[in-house]
Each structure stands twice: as C-alpha cells, then as structure tokens.
C-alpha cells in the first residue's frame, strides 16, 4: 500500500473504533438502566407475589442486586 492509503486506512479505523465504542457504551448503559428498573420492579412485586408482609430487608436486597448489576455492566464497559 502506498503511504497515503495506509494513513487514510489507519485514520478510518480510529474513527470506526470510536463510533463502535460510543455505540457499545450507549447500548450497555441502556441495558443497565433496564436491568436496574427490572430489579426495582421485582422488589415492588415480590411481597404481593409471595403474600408476605412488607419485608424491612427488601431495600437492602435491592441495593445488593443493583450493586451486582452495576459491577457486571461496568465490566462490560471495560472490555
């Protein structure tokens, strides 16, 4: 390849990589938001499904679920 075509190819790859990274991060953040919303909905419906009185530990369990979810999606963003 000539020097000009090599330079153009390398710059194009950098642009494509940047676009891919932005789109990937946007998708992962969207998925994270949906999962956190699902976690919250599970905790809202759980007492009604299991016919339990309001469990005082549910916020603690929701925080643990959300921490786990955030850790998983942070790992996806690093890749």
Answer yes or no: is pLDDT of 78 > 80.
yes
How far, in Å, CA of 44 to CA of 71, rounded?
A: 22
Among 72, 59, 68, which residue's Cα sits nearest to residue 29? 72
- 21 HSE (CA, 13 A, CB side): 8
Three-class DSSP category at 56: coil
| Digit-coded pLDDT (tens) for 16-72 | 888 989 999 999 999 999 999 999 998 888 766 655 556 677 788 889 999 999 999
**pLDDT band for position 15 (cuts 50, 70, 90):** confident
Count: domains in the chain: 1
Q: Structural domain of residue 51, as residue ranges?
A: 3-78
């Amino acid at each position: 390849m000539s020097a000009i075509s090599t330079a153009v190819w390398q710059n194009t790859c950098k642009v494509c990589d940047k676009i891919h990274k932005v789109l990937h991060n946007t998708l992962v953040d969207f998925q994270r938001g949906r999962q956190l919303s699902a976690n919250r909905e599970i905790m809202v419906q759980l007492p009604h499904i299991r016919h339990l009185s309001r469990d005082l530990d549910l916020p603690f369990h929701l925080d643990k679920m959300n921490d786990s979810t955030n850790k998983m999606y942070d790992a996806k963003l690093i890749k």
